[in-house]
Structure 1
Amino acid sequence: MPPHFFVSLPAPSLSLLPPPTTTISLSLSSLSPPPPPTNRGRTTTVRSSMEDRRRSRVSLFPPLPHRDLMLDVISAVDSRLSPHLLPSSVPSDVLSFRNPTGSSLGSLDIRRGSPASSVDFMLESWLHCRLPTGALDITTLLAFLNGSTDAPHLMMELIQASPTALVLLLDLLPRKDLPLHQHYLDDFYHRTQLDRQRQQLESLPQVRPYRSPSLYVRSIFSPTAVAVAVDCGEGAESVMEDIVRARLGSVAREYVRVWSDECACSTKQMEASETAHMRRRDGLIKAKAIEIDLSANLPRLFGPDVSNRVVAEIQKAFGEQR
């Protein structure tokens, strides 16, 4: 089972084919802009420098169809949250890491929310693993909010086993028991019409619903979560490129827009008991993410020294909840 946050997949049976040459570019200009920073010029320069460093790190990974999509989505979320995030303190040997043989590559970056913001952290993770049964690429984006709001977290993960097969997980992770909080269900999931995005995606002949073998994993998703497997068939790289660009890109853009408009940087007055319950729920989800996948599987791919460094940085972000 590969190391990732919210899905358990068997090792891929297909070897990684030569990468496609088409570059995919997804425009996310329709997202709501972040509040204007105090020093716009300096903030823009810092963000541009961070973006350059991110693209430099990611250039070491295979140029699969989903890479540019994830880069654009991460950049859009980073731009939205940037005024509310602290600079990254992740050490260089966790920003980029590999196993001794070079068969597994990884990159992890985490930015914590500033003390006055409602952002807990933003995490991006890139993994490329050459396994005996084939190659696997996993890219994860998490944007978690803290106890000053009950708005959902944002989660997006793409798992690609070949240029023509991938799994997409995309959701606004609920932080309340939806049957007990009808207004929460209405505000974030019904009124936003997110389920239309899932329905349109699942109508494609190459797309089928994906069901995690873990009942626990399924239990934390919302009713409008996108959890799909895309299989275009051997030799259909161009079809996959079109689906990633036109369909997955459109769905991802809408989910990020809704989260940016309705959830990011929001605040809400809550009873102390309600806040405590929500924080406990958040903490359990974080702990399970480490327990189920990371601690068990990273050592197999990267060895104990590298995996310990990576898990320690994630635990630091997950454990310092506000």
Structure 2
Amino acid sequence: MGLLAANLISSACCFVPLPPPSPLRFQAKRSSQRVLKAALTSSEKMDSGGQAAPVSKLMEFPHLTAAHTDLMLYLIQTVENGLGDHLLPSTVPTDVEYYENKNGTSQGTLLIRHGIPSSPIDFMIASWLHLKQPQGGAFNITNIAGYMKPSNDIPHFQFELVQCSPTFLIFFLDLLPRTDIILHPDYLTTYYEETGLEKLRQRLAALPEVSPYFSSSLYFRKVVSSTGILVGVKCEESESKRVEEIVREEIGPISKEVMRIWMELCLNGGRELEEDERSLMEKRDLMIKRKAIEMDLSKSMPLQFGEEVANRVLQVIRSAFKTA
């Protein structure tokens, strides 16, 4: 669960009534079967009897459109193929890996995989949330994030795609900077200019359906990089297919390229920090994580899922974020 999810889960920006379920919901299941089958095959774990164990509900994405589902499966599979050797198996309890409210109208999943001792990655987190709204409709948040260890200065990876309605999305994609750019201009050069991230941001910003999205949290705005993508995608009510097209042809390729860049940075190891730098980095990372949890999730999760479920989920997140 990432920074935008923490900010949006209690925000009114997406609390809008939705029309009846779109046919795209049903098309999603049919057109994504091949991709889903491939992803599940490589993600299955074998039990002691040699049989495939049940696959995490993280991989099901029951409420998303085809393009959104395909993108999530691709990104998760890419992490598994490229960084799987860097990551330990998830230890998230089954009652947190998938959870729902008492009425079953809102559901969530959570998967956390920590990095092995030699990896520059601290942990990766992936989730989806389906949140039913009191005034009708629902919105869906999907998230993949990679948090780095304080031993290096590689930016954190953040991907979040929020389906507010069939014709309105909010998209957040960034490599979160982990230092003061003013004091370290070489950081900007290495991780943002030389990687070409600005061209990707401009490509999406040029679409007529895309406009900047301004988070209600001033703190959140400060965390995002200068090449970070934080936009709303809004089409006319009759153009739900256009939203699907933008996800498949624009958001998808851009997300894949940013993930490729970040994974390459991870595999190269980044700059190893001195002891005094590590201490400052650890403090900075912790403050960002703590803000995400305490300012939003700790208040909004109980409202969405009830105290018991929220406490169970938040305990796992706090433990991974080292804010417990």
**Distance of 1:139 and 1:154 partners within structure 2:** 14
**Distance of 2:54 and 2:188 partners within structure 1:** 38
The aligned amino acid for 2:210 is: V
**Distance of 1:163 and 1:52 partners within structure 2:** 34
Q: For residues 249-300 of structure 1, give each alpha carbon's deviation from its aligned partner in whole angstroms, at most 9, with x where no partner exists.
A: 1110111111111235614332211111111000001101111221111111
Match of 2:106 among 90, 104, 107: 104
Deviation, structure 1 residue 189: 0.3
Give 3-state SS (helix, strand or coil) of 2:142's partner: strand
**Distance of 1:54 and 1:163 partners within structure 2:** 28
Matches within 5 A, 1:228-267: 228-264=231-267, 266-267=269-270
Count matched residues: 304
Closer/same/farther in 2, CA of residues 98 and 54 from structure 1, 3 Å limit = same
Deviation, structure 1 residue 310: 0.5
Q: Calculate the TM-score normalised by the size of structure 2.
A: 0.86
Give 3-state SS (helix, strand or coil) of 1:228's partner: strand
The aligned amino acid for 1:256 is: M
The aligned amino acid for 2:229 is: V
Residue 303 of structure 2 is aligned to residue 308 of structure 1: no
**Distance of 2:40 and 2:58 partners within structure 1:** 19
Match of 2:179 among 176, 179, 204: 176
Judge conservation of contact 2:120–2:266 (CA < 8 Å) in 1.
no
**Distance of 1:292 and 1:104 partners within structure 2:** 21
**Distance of 1:45 and 1:19 partners within structure 2:** 25
Deviation, structure 1 residue 4: 2.0
Identity of aligned residues (%): 39
**Distance of 1:19 and 1:284 partners within structure 2:** 43
Judge conservation of contact 1:118–1:146 (CA < 8 Å) in 2.
yes
Match of 1:190 among 190, 193, 198: 193
The aligned counterpart of 2:85 is 83
Give 3-state SS (helix, strand or coil) of 2:145's partner: strand
Ranges in structure 1 where 5+ consecutive residues have no aligned partner: 28-43
**Distance of 1:320 and 1:116 partners within structure 2:** 23
Match of 2:22 among 1, 7, 18: 18
The aligned amino acid for 1:226 is: I
Residue 95 of structure 2 is aligned to residue 93 of structure 1: yes
Judge conservation of contact 2:56–2:97 (CA < 8 Å) in 1.
no
Residue 196 of structure 2 is aligned to residue 212 of structure 1: no
Deviation, structure 1 residue 235: 2.2
Closer/same/farther in 2, CA of residues 123 and 255 from structure 1, 3 Å limit = same
Give 3-state SS (helix, strand or coil) of 2:182's partner: helix
The aligned counterpart of 2:64 is 63
Ranges in structure 2 where 5+ consecutive residues have no aligned partner: 46-51
Residue 121 of structure 2 is aligned to residue 126 of structure 1: no
Deviation, structure 1 residue 93: 0.5
Deviation, structure 1 residue 26: 12
Q: Calculate the TM-score normalised by the size of structure 1.
A: 0.87
The aligned amino acid for 2:131 is: C
The aligned amino acid for 1:5 is: A
Q: For residues 20-76 of structure 1, give each alpha carbon's deviation from its aligned partner in whole angstroms, at most 9, with x where no partner exists.
A: 01536999xxxxxxxxxxxxxxxx999431699557544363132422212211221
